[in-house]
Chains A and B, each alone.
Chain A
Amino acid sequence: MPTEAEAQHANVRNKGIFNNMTGFSTLITVTVLLLAWLAGFASRLFAVIRFESIIHEFDPWFNYRSTAYMVQHGFYNFLNWFDERAWYPLGRIVGGTVYPGLMITSGTIHWILHTLNIPVHIRDICVFLAPVFSGLTAIATYLLTSELWSRGAGLFAACFIAIIPGYSSRSVAGSYDNEGIAIFALQFTYYLWLKSIKSGSVFWSICTALSYFYMVSAWGGYVFIINLIPLHVFVLLIMGRFSQRLFVSYTVFYIIGLLLSMQIPFVGFQPIRTSEHMAASGVFALLMAIGALKYLHSLNPKRQWKQLLILGGLVAAGTVFLAVVLLTYMGVIAPWSGRFYSLWDTGYAKIHIPIIASVSEHQPTTWSSFFFDLHVLVCTFPVGLWYCIKNVNDERVFVALYAISAVYFAGVMVRLMLTLTPVVCVLAGIAFSILLDLVLKEDEMQIAPVETEDSKNLYDKAGKLKKRTHEPAPVDSGLGMNVRSGTLIAFMILLMLFSVHCTWATSNAYSSPSIVLASYGNDGSRKILDDFREAYGWLSQNTAEDARIMSWWDYGYQIAGMGNRTTLVDNNTWNNSHIALVGKAMASNESAAYDIMTMLDVDYVLVIFGGAIGYSGDDINKFIWMVRIAEGEHPKDIHEADYFTERGEYRIDSEASKTMLNCLMYKLSYYRYDSGGSPAGYDRTRGSLPGNRGFQLTYLEEAYTTEHWLVRIYRVKKPDEFNRPRLPLSKRKIVTSNNLSKKTSKRRKGLIKNKPTLVKGKKVTKLE
């Protein structure tokens, strides 16, 4: 990675000398971007090299499964796909509840390659899609930053985003998820938006809308775009920067973007029916009103009209706002959904939606995770922001708003670090570019006038100050060689540190498939724990085709994807009450759980148990969330307090509460457990000896346990299997009165009772 940093500086250095040689600078630009692409691609391959080409984690498994379905059955069948393997007995209409952009993208690549007779398996396309798109993101970031500042800053930003951990966390090879392609779409949309607002041409606006359409089809985060662009327009209006360009670009973008976004089945009529999208409509109406007022003003440009204009604008804004509020009260527009509302009212999710609060990605962000994901950029991007605001123009207003909103959202939720990362790269690229540009260029002060050509395009107010740049610099005002080289070396070291940190973070924190685990022995030898796939493979080979598997929702997609069996709940957590029912079954005692399980037709139960190898992400550690979610729906039967000790501790040893020791999850985890070091049955994850051991299961039987006890599968017994009283062998003989030997005259074979005896020549008497 230092390579591209070198090339980077070479570019900056040479820019002065070879400025007239556009070909040369284009060559450098292309080279740097290609290297950035390559570096970004390469740094995302740790998982593939260490393990294999495999789909990671949870959600990617669903995406992969539906992509495979689409490739096999065609796009229209995919849109109409009703998946009866999920959410038993409800099923899921996949085509209408999914953002299809990801599947279409990889399906298209697959189709193109196969048309060219290159036989690549769809799985490999899915695995490598995100790293390839990271290169495209780098290019989009380059374009965006060049629009904002300069090409040098663009190259810096492209190199940053190629390797930054905040972005590679979601785009390593195998992490086949919406975010991987969505960040590219996000950056590209913003680039096109800036382009269109600069030029005011319909062409660029339509391109923006098309790119926005791709974003809508790819990720639910499109809401960020459809709120940020109107915010930009609104702030420009407040700043009095209304222009014809703004009017054309926003109205065209809004109309076409709205129509296109409604074509996605999952989005449907949301853009005109929900509060999340109302900012866009409101700004559209406001812009129309202001446009009309401006037109009136242009007819009669007198002084008193100007105040009328401002007043009219204010009235229009108030009217639009009141209209939206009124429509919301009347129920025409749905209010903010819980997921978005929890971004503003940070305590909301914890009280009302435990299922959102339970996901670790939805926690607020500490400073150390900011630093971990952004490293040196976290303390340099404010410099870029500072200069963007000081030299403000239409585009830089946009990037400032982008930075401020994204940094707020990232502070509220770890997951939204992803939207912050691109803007941090852009602004830090600008900061580094300004500094190194100045430090490296001092000797060529005399040819400064050449630079003003750029500045004329880039800055609104360049005309005022142009004279100054023409003035030759005084000779003694130079910084001097020592200072400049010192600065240069210090910043080279900073960049080196950054690239080393990025590689380390990507390799250590974000490149684990979490389906295959690795443990390291004392001598550094590596041991692969492949328990998950072992268990799912067992399920697919040894259970009936239509067997229903109950597990906590985290594993739903994996069971469906690898085991190919029906699941009750999965990672698409749309039905809270169903999840709560599963949670209740896990939290109840065995007989109560059996009632729920028979009600849900469960055949097998799958639990993850990490006690033997010290795997902390297992079901016992997640269990308290199951209890909470179950309590939310069934407050009569489940009480969270019952699962804690008297002192409010969460324990599993002999101190633990009775409810805890007898609930289904506990029993399934510790049934027959005797591994985990000395003493046998020691739980390494919790660091204690389980309190309830050596018990028997009545309603379930162990079906399979993987090598390291990580996955345990139990079969639910049928009623006839446990209701029978068990008889000792001696009593199993059916006691029969030995009538066979008792050959009385009446009990011979073929005897009919009261058989009339026939006497020849006599009439048969009727049987009574």
Chain B
Amino acid sequence: MKYKTLLCLTVILTYFNINAQSRAKGLEEKVQQLTDMTSKQSIIPLNFNKFKEYVKSPPRDYSFIVMFTAMAPSRRCTICQHVYDEYLVVANSFRISPSFSDKLFFGMVDFDEGSDVFQMLRLNTAPVIMHFPAKGKPKPADSMDFERAGIHAEAIIKWIQDRTDIPIRIFRPPNYSGVIAFAMLFVLVAGFLYLRRNNLEFLYNKQMWAAIAVVFCFAMVSGQMWNQIRGPPFFHRTKNGPVYINGGSHGQFVLESYIVAILNGAVVVGMILMIEAAGGVKGTDINRAQDGKRRRFQSVVGLVLVCVFFSLLLSVFRAKTQGYPYR
């Protein structure tokens, strides 16, 4: 009896010993493989087997950041490309950063190569960036919230530091596209001027400059800058058909701002028509040759334009502003 127990114990002990050994070996091996892969490619592409082996199976002492995405053009995921670019910046920065270690790896699962993984994790959207901690299961905070944090590399490293306490300093490959675009534009303008060097009269065309300035004013006054910064939808679709005008005074749609710009423009055109009909400003050429009938017609058209479009503008404004008492 006594011996039996002892034997049992020995057997169990030996088993665990062997087991532990094999496990430790597996871990080292895995880390070694991962490090090799990382040195080749900063983001490790994963399929179902690899994902199971490196990310899911237990002997791990490293964190794994995995991006789930659908990069194939047929999937038509435009944001995936943006996220991928930023993610690549992060992974590359990590590789050259002083905090580089084998405690953190970056991986990627493409839907077309690892749809099983998507099923396993019950993911039905892409892109998703998830963190698989060294110990325990991923919590809800371990998948990154693009909506709130944004997709910038800065946001991603902040989130990574939040989850893993590994600070990464971002290193972007210097972006020359802006400089190149600017230089191209400059060269184009210069070339254009050079080609037209015998006929630079158009630069003195005040009407053109005036038109440019006025159009710029319309763009600003109709809130294009707000659109640029806030990125509102083009218009809002509801069950009762599309809505073009945002109901609140603190928001607007892109289409709405175009409408407002057109209304403003119509009022301005009407007023200019009236002024020209009435004889124009001293110093500009006055069309004395025009007969009175035509001038009267032009003037009335201008007046109608001003009145109609201004009252339209006012009614749109009134619809947006609660408690506005005037029409």
Pick from A407, A468, A490, A648: contact of B221, CB below 8 A. Answer: A407
Segment with Cβ contacts to A, from B11-19, B130-138, B281-289: B281-289
Pick from B161, B210, B218, B299: contact of A635, CB below 8 A. Answer: B161
B321 contacts across to A, CB distance below 8 A? 368, 372
B158 contacts across to A, CB distance below 8 A? 635
Q: Is A77 an interface residue (CB 8 A)?
A: no
Select from chain B the residue with minimum beta-carbon distance to A346.
B229
Q: Which of B141, B282, B284, B288 has the most CB of A within 10 A?
A: B282
Known A-B contacts A382-B214, A390-B206; A477 and B288 likewise in contact (beta carbons under 8 Å): yes
Q: State A478–B214 Cα separation when bound (angstroms).
A: 30
Taking CB atoms and an 8 Å cut-off, the chain B residues in 103-124 that contact chain A are none
B283 contacts across to A, CB distance below 8 A? 391, 455, 459, 461-462, 465
A365 contacts B226, CB within 8 Å? Answer: yes
B226 contacts A364, CB within 8 Å? Answer: yes
Taking CB atoms and an 8 Å cut-off, the chain A residues in 441-473 that contact chain B are 442, 451-452, 455, 459, 461-462, 465, 468-469, 471, 473
A483 contacts across to B, CB distance below 8 A? 296, 299-300, 303
Taking CB atoms and an 8 Å cut-off, the chain A residues in 353-389 that contact chain B are 364-372, 376, 378-383, 385-387, 389
B249 contacts A366, CB within 8 Å? Answer: yes
A382 contacts B303, CB within 8 Å? Answer: no
Q: 24 interchain pairs (CB within 8 A)?
A: A364-B225, A364-B226, A364-B228, A367-B256, A378-B221, A379-B310, A381-B217, A383-B268, A385-B217, A389-B213, A390-B207, A391-B281, A391-B283, A400-B213, A431-B271, A438-B275, A442-B278, A459-B283, A471-B288, A477-B288, A479-B292, A480-B296, A490-B306, A494-B306
A366 contacts across to B, CB distance below 8 A? 223, 226, 249-252
A523 contacts across to B, CB distance below 8 A? none
B268 contacts A382, CB within 8 Å? Answer: yes
B305 to chain A: closest CB distance in Å?
Answer: 11
Given contact pairs A459-B282, A487-B299, a sample of 10 additional A-B residue pairs in the complex whose CB atoms are under 8 Å apart: A367-B257, A370-B223, A379-B313, A382-B217, A391-B284, A408-B216, A468-B288, A476-B291, A477-B288, A487-B274
B257 contacts across to A, CB distance below 8 A? 367
Known A-B contacts A412-B225, A639-B162; A386 and B268 likewise in contact (beta carbons under 8 Å): yes
| Complex A-B, nearest 3 residue pairs according to Cβ-Cβ distance, in ascending order | A411-B225, A438-B278, A389-B210
Q: Is B295 an interface residue (CB 8 A)?
A: yes
Segment with Cβ contacts to B, from A107-115, A497-505, A754-762: A497-505
Q: Is A119 an interface residue (CB 8 A)?
A: no
Taking CB atoms and an 8 Å cut-off, the chain A residues in 468-527 that contact chain B are 468-469, 471, 473-474, 476-480, 483, 486-487, 490, 494, 497, 500-501, 504, 508
B206 to chain A: closest CB distance in Å?
Answer: 5
A498 to chain B: closest CB distance in Å?
Answer: 10
B217 contacts A407, CB within 8 Å? Answer: yes
Q: State A480–B293 Cα separation when bound (angstroms).
A: 9
A479 contacts B284, CB within 8 Å? Answer: no
Q: Is B51 an interface residue (CB 8 A)?
A: no
Q: Is A646 an interface residue (CB 8 A)?
A: yes
Binary CB contact string for chain B from 206 to 249 against chain A (1 if under 8 A, 0 otherwise):
11011001101110111111101110000000000000000001
Q: Which of A371, A385, A451, A500 has the most CB of B within 10 A?
A: A371
Q: State A451–B220 Cα separation when bound (angstroms).
A: 36
Q: Is B86 an interface residue (CB 8 A)?
A: no
A452 contacts across to B, CB distance below 8 A? 282
A693 to chain B: closest CB distance in Å?
Answer: 26
Q: Is B35 an interface residue (CB 8 A)?
A: no
Q: Is B267 an interface residue (CB 8 A)?
A: yes
Pick from A346, A411, A479: contact of B223, CB below 8 A. Answer: A411
Q: State A365–B225 Cα separation when bound (angstroms).
A: 7
Known A-B contacts A369-B249, A383-B271, A648-B147; A438 and B325 likewise in contact (beta carbons under 8 Å): no
A364 contacts B229, CB within 8 Å? Answer: yes
A497 contacts B252, CB within 8 Å? Answer: no
A257 to chain B: closest CB distance in Å?
Answer: 28
A289 contacts across to B, CB distance below 8 A? none
Interface majority SS (helix, strand, loop, mixed), chain A: helix
Q: Is B129 an interface residue (CB 8 A)?
A: no
B141 contacts A385, CB within 8 Å? Answer: no
Select from chain A the residue with minimum beta-carbon distance to B300.
A483
Q: State A462–B283 Cα separation when bound (angstroms).
A: 6
Q: Is A403 an interface residue (CB 8 A)?
A: yes
Q: Is A347 an interface residue (CB 8 A)?
A: yes
A310 to chain B: closest CB distance in Å?
Answer: 13
Q: State A490–B277 Cα separation when bound (angstroms).
A: 16
Select from chain A the residue with minimum beta-carbon distance to B167.
A635
Known A-B contacts A382-B264, A487-B274, A648-B145; A387 and B281 likewise in contact (beta carbons under 8 Å): yes
A370 contacts across to B, CB distance below 8 A? 221-223
Binary CB contact string for chain B from 292 to 317 against chain A (1 if under 8 A, 0 otherwise):
10011001100100110010011001
Q: Is B30 an interface residue (CB 8 A)?
A: no
Pick from B274, B286, B326: contact of A500, CB below 8 A. Answer: B326
Known A-B contacts A367-B222, A372-B321, A641-B148; A439 and B278 likewise in contact (beta carbons under 8 Å): yes
A411 contacts across to B, CB distance below 8 A? 220-221, 223-226
Q: How large is the interface on A (under 10, 10 to 19, 20 to 34, 35 or more residues)?
A: 35 or more
A172 contacts across to B, CB distance below 8 A? none
Q: Is A435 an interface residue (CB 8 A)?
A: yes
Known A-B contacts A346-B229, A383-B272; A367 and B252 likewise in contact (beta carbons under 8 Å): yes
Select from chain B the residue with minimum beta-carbon distance to A451.
B282
A480 contacts B282, CB within 8 Å? Answer: no
Q: State A465–B281 Cα separation when bound (angstroms).
A: 12
B326 contacts A390, CB within 8 Å? Answer: no
A352 to chain B: closest CB distance in Å?
Answer: 10
Taking CB atoms and an 8 Å cut-off, the chain B residues in 254-271 that contact chain A are 256-257, 260, 263-264, 267-268, 271
Pick from B217, B272, B282, B307: contact of A490, CB below 8 A. Answer: B307
Q: State A641–B279 Cα separation when bound (angstroms).
A: 65
B214 contacts across to A, CB distance below 8 A? 382, 385-386
Select from chain A the residue with minimum beta-carbon distance to B295.
A479
A635 contacts across to B, CB distance below 8 A? 158, 161-162
Q: State A480–B299 Cα separation when bound (angstroms).
A: 10
B154 contacts across to A, CB distance below 8 A? 351
Q: Is B169 an interface residue (CB 8 A)?
A: no
Select from chain B the residue with minimum beta-carbon distance to A407.
B220
A223 contacts across to B, CB distance below 8 A? none
A387 contacts across to B, CB distance below 8 A? 275, 281
B271 contacts across to A, CB distance below 8 A? 380, 383, 431, 435
Q: State A473–B326 Cα separation when bound (angstroms).
A: 42
Select from chain A the residue with minimum beta-carbon distance to B228.
A346
Pick from A391, A438, A494, A504: contact of B279, CB below 8 A. Answer: A438
Q: Is A410 an interface residue (CB 8 A)?
A: yes
B147 to chain A: closest CB distance in Å?
Answer: 7
Q: Is A252 an interface residue (CB 8 A)?
A: no
Q: State A430–B271 Cα separation when bound (angstroms).
A: 12
Select from chain A the residue with minimum beta-carbon distance to B263.
A379
B275 contacts A434, CB within 8 Å? Answer: yes
A486 contacts across to B, CB distance below 8 A? 300, 303
Q: State A480–B303 Cα separation when bound (angstroms).
A: 14
A600 contacts across to B, CB distance below 8 A? none
B187 to chain A: closest CB distance in Å?
Answer: 16
B148 contacts A392, CB within 8 Å? Answer: no
A410 contacts B220, CB within 8 Å? Answer: yes
Q: State A412–B223 Cα separation when bound (angstroms).
A: 9
Q: Is A308 an interface residue (CB 8 A)?
A: no
Q: State A316–B7 Cα separation when bound (angstroms).
A: 96
Q: State A413–B223 Cα separation when bound (angstroms).
A: 11
Q: State A646–B141 Cα separation when bound (angstroms).
A: 9
A370 to chain B: closest CB distance in Å?
Answer: 5
Q: State A376–B317 Cα separation when bound (angstroms).
A: 12
Select from chain B the residue with minimum beta-carbon distance to A380.
B271
B225 contacts A404, CB within 8 Å? Answer: no
Q: Is B290 an interface residue (CB 8 A)?
A: yes
A404 contacts B217, CB within 8 Å? Answer: yes
Pick from A368, A385, A468, A479: contact of B286, CB below 8 A. Answer: A468
A539 to chain B: closest CB distance in Å?
Answer: 34
